[in-house]
Amino acid sequence: MQYHNFHTHTRYSDGHDTPREMIEEALSRGFTSLGFSDHSFAWFESYYSMSEEGTVRQFREIRQLADEYRGRIRIYAGIELDGESAIPTLDYDFILSSVHEAVRHGRSFPIDSGKEQHLALVRELYGGSYTDFTKDYYMRLTEHVIRNRTDIVGHLDLPTKYSTCPEDDPRYRDAAIEAVREIVKHCKVFELNTGAIARGLRTVPYPAAFLLDEIKAQGGAMIVNSDCHYRAKLTCWFDEAEEYLAAHGFRRFDNQRLNDRIDGVTLWK
């Protein structure tokens, strides 16, 4: 099992634990590093995003904790940057790029904040067309990754969270595959995200098997992240992920470099 996680939320956004509690949990599980990635501030009203003031306080606290725990565990200050957020001005160690919000005609709906709200966004913003919604989602995710200094691509196929998206539709698959082929030119590392498994919403991680195969074919790499909101779920499905990735032709490489600040990472290529 790998001993790090780079998709970790705290009470500063929509997590349930403090940064210190997360670090202590990571230490108890033998982690060598932990990356924090609370949700970035955005213009739309959101229960899950950090406030502008909270963004600064979170960054300062993570930096202080990194100094305090130095020699015991490496702590990294990152951000889960939403597609509707401004480019960060703080000196983050890494950026995890995700799209959580569908925005159209001056309105926004969260993509993954409940099945009914998810259905409402497709109905009200896209006239009930999942084809139009998912094409727009993948286009916006691609533009987001290209526009920002992305180190990790977050939960690639988030629209499938509630099993409402027609994943077998060739039009959906074409849009998703096209996104992978363009994104990998700008960011090689995608996350195998086990967060929906932790919440009992899925039995397999993001991304879907056909997207894993495409990432592999395009020379991309995977990092296992638990999208952790509860410290008890910090390593959710980490053991199973080893066999899952191997079954899709990925090989494990330890002590890899994520960017010019972060090394000692397990990547699957």
Give DSSP secondary structure letters for 224-260.
EE--BSSGGGTTTTHHHHHHHHHHTT--EEEEE-SSS
Domain 80-268: assigned CATH number: 3.20.20.140
Q: What is the pLDDT of residues 85-137, one digit of tens each?
A: 988 999 999 999 999 999 998 888 999 999 999 999 999 999 999 999 999 99
pLDDT band at 140 (very low <50, low <70, confident <90, very high): very high
* Phi, psi of 235, deg, nearest 5: -115, 30
Q: What is the pLDDT of residue 43?
A: 78
Reading the block at residue 43, the tokens are: 């213009």
Q: What is the pLDDT of residues 182-232, one digit of tens each?
A: 999 999 999 999 999 999 999 999 999 999 999 999 999 999 999 999 999
* Mean pLDDT across 23-29: 98
Question: Where do runs of H (alpha helix) occur along 81-198?
Answer: 115-126, 130-147, 170-183, 195-198
Reading the block at residue 208, the tokens are: 């879907």
Sole residue written with tokens 């990735």:
245
Domain residue spans of the chain: 80-268
CA 112 – CA 24 distance, rounded (Å): 29
